[in-house]
């Protein structure tokens, strides 16, 4: 067991090292959400109500970029390059490998959220989170769900050239529908119904409660349940469809 932990740690260290050496990946993960935050912050400047929506919204989006988007792209690339197949031939237990990847994604999420929440508190008058425990629970559930869904999506992507198209075809509608940029309650009913089925809507709700309103956890248990249901689906699909090498032909 200690051996598996040591291997997880090695994998985590390698992932961190590689992440910082690949500027485009780092850019997509860190700069894009911040750019959105700055743009919408400028648009909504003066309206605290809107700023109170945009900060948890971007926070939720950050969870999705650092896990779902990053893992879907990365898994397709590693599979196509044959890295996964090569790793499979070593004694590295797959659990240690995936745990290393997950810890790496969680670190990125934590860094990203610290920046978003920090900017929200310092520049946008949103204040520091009211409910740290609730924040941690929702971020944890969100990371697990979106990481699993990202790995699951990677199974459906035929090759790396098409990966951005597949990922964005899901990511962009989801962030718009889920109320990252506006209060989802103000959307037309049919959009609201779709949004209610999406995990990001509920993650943003939970983060909004934890960061802005300080609403009690009990009011948001249903949000957590929806995220965890998606997470369960994601884990099942991620594990069942997992392949170590690209399909032939």
Partner 1 sequence: MESAPAILVRDLHKSYGEVHAVQGIDFEVARGEVFGLLGPNGAGKTTTVEVLEGYRERTSGIVSVLGHDPSSRPRALRERVGIVLQSSGTYRHVTVRELVTHWAGLYRAPRDVDEVIGRAGLRECEDVRARRLSGGQARRLDFALALVGDPELIFLDEPTTGFDPAARRAAWETIRALADLGKTVLLTTHYLDEAQALCDRVAIVKDGRILAVGAPSQLGVGASSRYRVSWRTERGELVARETDDPTALLHQLTSAALARDVGVRDLSVTRPSLEDVYLELTASGEAAGGKAAW
Q: Is 90 among the residues that bind partner 1 (CB under 8 A)?
A: yes
Which run of H or of E encompasses 116?
helix 94-122
Q: Is 38 among the residues that bind partner 1 (CB under 8 A)?
A: no
- Going by the DSSP 8-state scheme, the letter that residue 123 receives in this structure is T
Which of 4/236 has CB closer to partner 1?
4
Binder to partner 1 among 89, 189, 190, 249 (CB under 8 A)? 89
Which of 24/189 has CB closer to partner 1?
24
Tell me the closest approach of the beta carbon of residue 154 to partner 1, in angstroms.
16
Which of 84/177 has CB closer to partner 1?
84
Q: Which stretch binds partner 1 (CB under 8 A): 14-22, 51-59, 157-165, 183-191?
A: 14-22
Q: Is 91 among the residues that bind partner 1 (CB under 8 A)?
A: yes
Q: How many CA atoms lie within 13 A of 110 on its CB side?
A: 10
Q: Is 10 among the residues that bind partner 1 (CB under 8 A)?
A: yes
CA distance 105 to 68: 9
Q: Is 245 among the residues that bind partner 1 (CB under 8 A)?
A: yes
Short-list 193, 187, 210, 181, CA closest to 57: 181
CA distance 148 to 137: 17
Binder to partner 1 among 32, 34, 92, 137 (CB under 8 A)? 92
Tell me the closest approach of the beta carbon of residue 150 to partner 1, in angstroms.
19
Short-list 69, 59, 8, CA closest to 34: 59
Q: Which stretch binds partner 1 (CB under 8 A): 36-44, 90-98, 115-123, 206-214?
A: 90-98
- Looking up tokens 């690949």, which residue turns up? 22
∠ Cα 230 28 153 (to 5°): 30
- Going by the DSSP 8-state scheme, the letter that residue 186 receives in this structure is G
Short-list 69, 75, 81, CA closest to 108: 69
Binder to partner 1 among 5, 38, 43, 93 (CB under 8 A)? 93
Which of 12/181 has CB closer to partner 1?
12
CA distance 218 to 20: 39
Residues at the contact surface with partner 1, assessed by CB under 8 A: 7, 10, 14, 17-18, 21-22, 81-83, 85-86, 88-93, 244-245
């Amino acid at each position: 067991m200690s051996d598996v932990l040591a291997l997880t740690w090695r994998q985590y260290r390698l992932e961190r090292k590689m992440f910082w050496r690949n500027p485009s990946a780092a850019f997509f993960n860190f700069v894009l959400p911040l750019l959105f935050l700055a743009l919408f912050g400028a648009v909504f400047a003066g309206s605290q109500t809107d700023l109170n929506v945009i900060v948890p919204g971007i926070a939720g989006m950050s969870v999705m970029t650092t896990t779902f988007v990053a893992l879907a792209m990365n898994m397709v690339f590693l599979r196509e390059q044959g890295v996964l197949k090569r790793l499979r031939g070593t004694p590295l237990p797959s659990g240690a490998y995936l745990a290393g990847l997950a810890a790496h994604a969680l670190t990125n999420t934590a860094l990203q959220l610290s920046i978003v929440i920090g900017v929200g508190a310092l520049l946008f008058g949103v204040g520091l989170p009211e409910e740290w425990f609730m924040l941690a629970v929702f971020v944890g559930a969100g990371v697990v769900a979106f990481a699993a869904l990202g790995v699951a999506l990677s199974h459906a992507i035929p090759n790396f050239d098409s990966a951005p198209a597949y990922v964005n075809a899901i990511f962009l509608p989801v962030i718009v529908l889920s109320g990252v940029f506006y209060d989802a309650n103000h959307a037309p009913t049919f959009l609201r119904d779709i949004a209610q089925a999406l995990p990001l809507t509920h993650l943003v709700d939970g983060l909004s409660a934890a960061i802005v309103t300080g609403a009690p956890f009990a009011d948001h248990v249903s949000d957590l349940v929806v995220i965890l249901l998606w997470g369960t689906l994601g884990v099942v699909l991620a594990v069942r469809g997992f392949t170590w090498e690209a399909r032939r032909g």
